[in-house]
Amino acid sequence: MSFAGRHVLLGVSGGIACYKSCTLARRLTEGGAAVDVVLTASAAEFVRPVTFEALTGRPVLTSLWQPDRALAHIALARQPDLAIVAPATAHLLARAALGLADDVLTALLLARTGPVLAAPAMNDAMYAHAATRANVKALAARGWHFVGPDTGPLAEGPSERPGRMSEPEVLLAAAARLLEQRAPWLGKQVVVTAGPTREHLDPIRVVTNPSSGRMGYAIAAAAHTRGADVVLVSGPSDLPLPFGVTTHRVETTADMQRAVDGLVKHANVLVMAAAPADYRPARPAAGKRPRASGALTLELEATPDILASLKRPPGCLVVGFALEAPGAEGGNGVAQAQAKLREKHLDYIILNNALEPGAGFEVTTNRVTIIGKSGTPIELPLLDKRDVAERILDAVEQALT
């Protein structure tokens, strides 16, 4: 994800999870951010300042008494777009909650008026302690944002209680939402469908397609970053779930239809990026069909057309997808997509060619044409699917404002 032009402060306090902060610093820098790192004295025992200097290309602040950097903590309190504290140990949270300024990081945090994102990381009993919970509550009341902690292995061994610092990718997604949320999306309910569906021939074999769900997942993540409350209805997919997005797993097209029908009642935007199976066996077998020599003839019937039967609430914007495979007669599918847009009463339809290299299924890129009810179709170049998602949401955003 892009952090181009952003200035981020990364405060690191002393815990074994400091190693994750190195990855976080690198990913922020790779995303285009200018990253200034501030280490507490104990953090510098885990990871030396030179490591962060190599990762960010910028000097690291470790002390209020650092030569030639008088009042640097005040400048770093005011200038960055976002301050991230990762890991935020129990001791750091306690000092910040009390308003102490006994080292460079707590002094900076006390002087800061902009957003702060904290990633707690500590022993599970320390996080569960009433003092720590009170400190988190106090800081949240003052405007701090928290991600985690997660449940999982700790330095001292496995745990079934929270204490583990959230992964860098999760923190990046949370940081992006704080930096990139937009007024038209705040408070909006967005439903996105993604992935294939499976229709069973028998308990073992299925009719499906090669959709990975990557396009729909990218749209869900992008809408969350913009500030929307997002629900993802996903068919079978191996992709990691987008941070902050509520996910409903479904198997068949009928399952997806039921989920969409229930969720769209409260939606402001519905994006149908899934590739549900169009046909299902008319008579699926209760047990596994034995393999036999010769041909197998199957009778298929149409699955529900989710968009055609949709009862959308007033004011809900609906975006459909048209995956075409133009034949020898030529054409780019625009006329067919425009016909679908009218027939299914869509606000936008996204056209792409399943046969074009680098587009369609099982790839990280796509080339689409955005078609609205009015105006000239917008033909995009081949882009990463997250970039395609942003362009689609740009079009929808104009209708939200």
Q: Which of 122, 130, 131 is nearest to 89 (CA)?
A: 122
Structure tokens at 394: 């740009």
Phi and psi at residue 353, in whole multiples of 5°? -100, 115
Alpha-carbon gap, residue 340 to 343, rounded angstroms: 5
Q: Report yes or no: 44 and 11 within 8 Å, Cβ to Cβ.
A: no
Instruction: Give me the residue label for tokens 């952003």.
Output: 6
Structure tokens at 28: 């922020």
Mind giving me the DSSP string for 111-136?
H--S-EEEEE-S-HHHHHSHHHHHHH
Our measurement of the distance from residue 245's CA atom to the centroid of its chain's CA atoms, rounded to an integer in Å, reads: 7
Q: How far is CA 70 from CA 65, 73, 74, 77, 309, in A?
A: 7, 8, 9, 13, 66
First to last CA, the chain: 25
268 is catalytic: no
DSSP 142: T
Q: Report yes or no: 131 and 115 within 8 Å, Cβ to Cβ.
A: no
Number of continuous H segments (helices) and E segments (strands) in the chain: 13, 21
Phi and psi at residue 13, in whole multiples of 5°? -105, 170
Our measurement of the distance from residue 67's CA atom to the centroid of its chain's CA atoms, rounded to an integer in Å, reads: 41
Q: Rg of the chain's alpha carbons, rounded to an integer? A: 25
Q: Report yes or no: 369 and 350 within 8 Å, Cβ to Cβ.
A: yes
Q: Which of 350, 340, 274, 361 is nearest to 319 (CA)?
A: 350
Task: For residue 369, list its beta bridge partners.
Answer: 351, 379
Angle between helices 168-180 and 18-30 (to 10 degrees): 50
The residue from 123, 209, 332, 352 that is catalytic is 209
Alpha-carbon gap, residue 391 to 14, rounded angstroms: 41
Instruction: Give me the residue label for tokens 């010769």.
Output: 294
Question: Which residues have a catalytic role annotated?
Answer: 209
